[in-house]
Amino acid sequence: RAGRKFGGWGVPVAPCVWEKSAGLVWLEAQHAERVPCSAANGLTFPSWGRCSEPRAVSGGSPCLKETGRGGERKEPQIFYLFILFILRELNCLNFAPAPFRHHNRIRSIEASQLKPYVSLETLDLSFNDITEIRNGCFPQGLHIKELYLGSNRISTLEPGAFDSLSRSLLTLRLSKNRITQLPVKAFRLPRLTQLELNRNRIRLIEGLTFQGLDSLEVLKLQRNNISKLTDGAFWGLAKMQELHLEYNSLTEVNSGSLYGLSSLYQLHLSNNSISRMAGWSFCQKLHELILSYNNLTRLDEGSLAGLAGLHVLRLSHNSISHIAEGAFKGLKNLRVLDLDHNEIAGTIEDTNGAFTGLESLSKLNLGANAIRSVQADAFAKMRSLRQLHINSDSFLCDCQLKWLPPWLVEKELQAFVVATCAHPEALKGRSIFAVLPESFVCDDFPKPQIIIQPETTVAVLGKDIRFTCSAASSSSSPMLFAWKKDNEVLRNAEIENFAHVRAKDGEVMEYTTILHLRHVTFTHEGRYQCVITNHFGSTYSNKAQLTVNVLPSFTKTPHDITSRTGTMVQLECAAEGHPPPQIAWQKDGGTDFPAARERRMHVMPDDDVFFIMDVKIEDMGVYSCTAQNFAGSVLANATLTVLETPSLIHPLEDHVVSVGETVALQCKARGSPSPRITWLKGDQPLVMTERHHFTPGNQLLIVRNVVLEDAGKYTCEMSNTVGTERAHSHVSILQSLGCRKDRTTVGIITIAVVCSIVLTSLVWVCIIYQTRKKSEEYSVTNTDETIVPPDVPSYLSSQGTLSDRQETVIRVENQQPNGHIESNGESCPGHLSPTVGCRQAKLCMGYDKDTWQTEDMADGMLVPDKTGTKAINLERYFMFV
């Protein structure tokens, strides 16, 4: 019967009650001592073996058959047959009679007894004496969906005992037994959705224990003695939604033990001994987390990380005294937070950011925490808060609490707050909502007030330091001093405390506490805070940061490296210090790395090696490894030497020059180390003369005033420690075309020219004299003679530059009858007077400019007249003279 509770558990009813309705036969037997196998009201009790496939059979219950009015045998459809209490004797069953008043005494499950009931859906064997479940207990072919084996004495579960039910079983109850160990892969039931193992003696859950329960949604393990969950304990339960682990002996929860619970919705961990929790990364869908009645003392930043989908968090009845700033960061969807019955009064009074990240929180329970004060705007960021439960009669109703009552009223939260003043005496016992705003004053300050804060300090490893903190109070109540490091009280710290009366008013006491830290090490680093407490409350100082620094020191230093071009080199550098130093590389004092620009440089972030691939000459230099932290920096250098075979930058060229010219042979080479250059001529060492000159490094060979013997093959030999290379250049010398460059010839020509000019000057003096004397007697035409006007222009420009044209120099020894000197300006025909001499144009390379200067000045005296004939410019002539 759907929805009916079977029996009344002790309610006196008829020994046997039979009901029959629409083919459904139901038997309730309460406190029955004997049910005979006889007909009653049309019902008969055949033997067990002749039963007509009952759908459900409870342990020790008989099979029923129905007879019609005409006496024909009718097979009823029995869906559920349940005998709540034990029958003393069933003569129609082949069970041994067991005298017992209330329970059956089935000690084992035999496959032969269950084999005929292939349509059975629910089998309840609770409250028996079954001690073990072995392979073969359940025959193949059964379609049992629900199997109840609770309240037995089962201590042994053989692996695979339930394999024959893998296609049908949905619910398995094994609570209240004596199971101490669950074999790995004990349950290969892919359709099972609910497994109950409450009230057993299980101590350890091994990894992969529940593998094979692919569809399991609810797992109950309450009231065992489980003390440890190994990594992967719940692997394979990807569809698990509810996990109950209440009333066990767990001491911690870590991510490894919860690995694989990707669909977990509710996790119940109350009434354990959990003192530490970390890692919820595998429970991204967790909606409700119950951690009440444990041993939690603090909530660190990150202890609840990864629970972005959490809606309900219950942490009541723990010993939480510290909530780190940002402990709830990331719980953006949290709606309910229970923190009642903890020790968080100090955290509420001291920390402004304790509840940061709870923007969606609607219910916060802080009851039974003996809260005495609340920091201003402690709940300001909880924009969705609808219930704030506070229950405390220890409030210090001074000016620092003035903000709280109006804020609670404004947010309509006063209905959930029971807050009573404990001080001052005038307000003692009154609700904070009954105190007028002007009564929240700080006329006196019985609660200590910090007047000297500890200061942030940077220390050197091994040195002694101290922190100082002072407070004042108008109360004579005894003071307690404590120092915290990273929000944890220092139990065995070296603390010096003293007090004195403030001189200016005489009624106020000043208290000073000094924390001494000897030979500081890295473990001393942290944030230090002093806490001064009396009967009226606690005062918390600012948090002073202590940093212990150590100058970096190298554990690996780079070494000088010599490598050939095209290879790979690596430079090692590692250092230690506190804080850990940063490693940086420089090349030649800068950060311009050719290898970096060309993406040939690799620095491994987690390694100590600096790589340069395909080394080139430009990578050569001094590499500096710098290790730096806040304490300072250290530097180590290594020289990278790159070796390269010598080679020419520009190829040597062949040269063709004339005798007397200068030839330059350039052999510009590169290589590493810098190559040594040697010159050879005809594969023999070059014989040096005063005409041979070298630039530094022998890269340029200059031969002046070449002669025919200088012709030949010149070889530039470049060598270094890597190898030797040669390059060749051929020099050809051309013979001169008649230009004599020796100084004797030039000197003779110069003297001859000067003499001719002097003689010509004398002749012209006479001519001018005679011309002026007889100027009135002669008529001069423009075409027959040369007229020298008195205002002949003066040409003073120098004519001593080089010219490629032929020039004719006229020496005048005998004047023509008409007074003209003729010349075509190009050559010296043989019919001219022998007094007229010719010289070749200045086409020869390497001529002496000083030698020709005089001749150039003489050339400047000849100018063309109107007929094209060159005549002497008298003004130039006289200027020359």
CA distance 579 to 552: 9
Lowest mean pLDDT of 313-322, 334-343, 653-662, 849-858, name the range. Answer: 849-858
Those residues whose C-beta lies under 8 Å from the C-beta of residue 515, and which sit 6 or more positions away, are 454, 466, 467, 468, 469, 483, 490, 493, 494, 495, 528, 530
Say if 865 falls within a structural domain: yes
**C-alpha 40: how far from chain center:** 83
CATH number at residue 728: 2.60.40.10
Q: Which has the closest alpha carbon to 692: 671, 714, 673?
A: 714
Who has greater pLDDT, 878 or 279? 279
Question: What number is the average pLDDT over the span 832-843?
Answer: 36
Confidence band for 826, pLDDT divided at 50, 70 and 90: very low
Tokens 């008969």 belong to: 44
On whether both 493 and 579 belong to a single domain, the answer is no
Q: At what angle do helices 743-773 and 849-859 cross, to 10 degrees?
A: 20
On whether both 635 and 533 belong to a single domain, the answer is no
Residue that finishes a domain, picked among 523, 548, 573: 548
Those residues whose C-beta lies under 8 Å from the C-beta of residue 505, and which sit 6 or more positions away, are none
What pLDDT sits at residue 776?
A: 58
Who has greater pLDDT, 766 or 265? 265
CA distance 215 to 62: 34
Dump strand ranges (E) for 150-283.
156-157, 171-173, 194-196, 204-205, 218-220, 228-229, 242-244, 252-254, 266-268, 276-278
What is the strand order of the sheet 494-501 is part of?
449-452, 465-473, 509-517, 494-501
Q: What is the dihedral of CA 741, 742, 747, 750, to 10 degrees?
A: -10
Say which DSSP state 684 is in: E
Evaluate whether 573 touches 554 at the Cβ level (below 8 Å): yes
pTM given for the model: 0.56
On whether both 593 and 667 belong to a single domain, the answer is no
Q: Residue 312: helix, strand or coil by DSSP?
A: strand
Residue 866 has pLDDT above 70, yes or no: no
Residue 346 has pLDDT above 90, yes or no: no
Evaluate whether 359 touches 335 at the Cβ level (below 8 Å): no
Surface-to-core class of residue 736, CB atoms within 10 Å of its CB (0-12 exposed, 13-18 middle, 19+ buried): middle
What are the start-end ranges of the H helices in 814-873? Answer: 849-859
Evaluate whether 233 touches 257 at the Cβ level (below 8 Å): yes
Structure tokens given for 212: 């094979």
Say which DSSP state 723 is in: -
Confidence band for 780, pLDDT divided at 50, 70 and 90: very low
CA distance 861 to 795: 9
Structure tokens given for 114: 């269950």
Enclosing H/E stretch for 672: strand 669-672
Burial readout 692-727 (b: 16 or more C-beta within 10 A, e: otherwise): eeeeeebbebebbebeeebbeebbbbbbbebeebbb
On whether both 753 and 845 belong to a single domain, the answer is yes
On whether both 793 and 858 belong to a single domain, the answer is yes
What does DSSP say about strands 218-220 and 242-244: parallel, antiparallel, or unpaired?
Answer: parallel
Q: Residue 169: helix, strand or coil by DSSP?
A: coil
Say if 540 falls within a structural domain: yes
Enclosing H/E stretch for 658: strand 655-658
Lowest mean pLDDT of 42-56, 99-113, 135-149, 645-659, name the range. Answer: 42-56
Say which DSSP state 431 is in: B
Say if 420 falls within a structural domain: no
Residue 793 has pLDDT above 90, yes or no: no
Tokens 């009541």 belong to: 316
Residue 852 has pLDDT above 80, yes or no: no
> How many other C-beta atoms can be found within 10 angstroms of the C-beta atom of residue 573?
22
CA distance 38 to 54: 19
Evaluate whether 147 touches 173 at the Cβ level (below 8 Å): yes
On whether both 523 and 582 belong to a single domain, the answer is no
What's the N-to-C CA distance of the chain in angstroms? 156
Enclosing H/E stretch for 408: helix 404-410
Residue that finishes a domain, picked among 643, 661, 694: 643
Lowest mean pLDDT of 484-488, 504-508, 700-704, name the range. Answer: 504-508
Confidence band for 351, pLDDT divided at 50, 70 and 90: low
Q: Residue 26: helix, strand or coil by DSSP?
A: strand
Gyration radius from the chain CA atoms: 59
Surface-to-core class of residue 448, CB atoms within 10 Å of its CB (0-12 exposed, 13-18 middle, 19+ buried): buried
CA distance 636 to 573: 8
Residue type, 522: F
What pLDDT sits at residue 762?
A: 87
What pLDDT sits at residue 672?
A: 83
On whether both 619 and 661 belong to a single domain, the answer is no
On whether both 471 and 502 belong to a single domain, the answer is yes
Residue that finishes a domain, picked among 548, 583, 609: 548
Enclosing H/E stretch for 772: helix 743-773
Structure tokens given for 38: 């006889």
Say if 787 falls within a structural domain: yes
Structure tokens given for 529: 């805070």
**C-alpha 820: how far from chain center:** 103
CA distance 94 to 17: 23
Evaluate whether 612 touches 601 at the Cβ level (below 8 Å): yes
Q: Give per-residue pLDDT as tens, 529-539.
A: 999 988 887 88
Say if 526 falls within a structural domain: yes
Say which DSSP state 173 is in: E
- The per-residue pLDDT of the chain, averaged, comes to 77
> How many other C-beta atoms can be found within 10 angstroms of the C-beta atom of residue 315?
24
Say if 426 falls within a structural domain: no
Evaluate whether 275 touches 295 at the Cβ level (below 8 Å): yes
| pLDDT over 90, % of the chain | 38
Q: Which has the closest alpha carbon to 144: 121, 161, 167?
A: 121
The count of structural domains within the chain is: 4
What pLDDT sits at residue 745?
A: 65
Say if 407 falls within a structural domain: no
Q: Which of 95-104, 228-237, 795-804 has the highest mean pLDDT?
A: 228-237
What pLDDT sits at residue 460?
A: 85
Question: What number is the average pLDDT over the span 18-45?
Answer: 34
Residue 304 has pLDDT above 60, yes or no: yes
Who has greater pLDDT, 434 or 800? 434
Residue 189 has pLDDT above 50, yes or no: yes
Confidence band for 64, pLDDT divided at 50, 70 and 90: very low
Confidence band for 153, pLDDT divided at 50, 70 and 90: very high
Q: Which has the closest alpha carbon to 480: 535, 427, 433?
A: 535
Say if 580 falls within a structural domain: yes
Those residues whose C-beta lies under 8 Å from the C-beta of residue 787, and which sit 6 or more positions away, are 780
* Torsional sign, CA 772, 778, 782, 783: negative
Containing domain of residue 522, as a range?
449-548
CA distance 301 to 318: 18
What pLDDT sits at residue 502?
A: 73
CA distance 25 to 80: 8
Confidence band for 400, pLDDT divided at 50, 70 and 90: confident
On whether both 671 and 800 belong to a single domain, the answer is no
For 573-631, give the DSSP string. -EEEEESPPEEEEEETTBS--HHHHTT-EEE-TTSSEEEE-S--GGG-EEEEEEEEETT
* Torsional sign, CA 54, 56, 60, 62: negative
Evaluate whether 453 touches 541 at the Cβ level (below 8 Å): yes
Evaluate whether 322 touches 291 at the Cβ level (below 8 Å): no
On whether both 454 and 540 belong to a single domain, the answer is yes
Who has greater pLDDT, 780 or 507? 507
On whether both 592 and 624 belong to a single domain, the answer is yes
On whether both 627 and 684 belong to a single domain, the answer is no
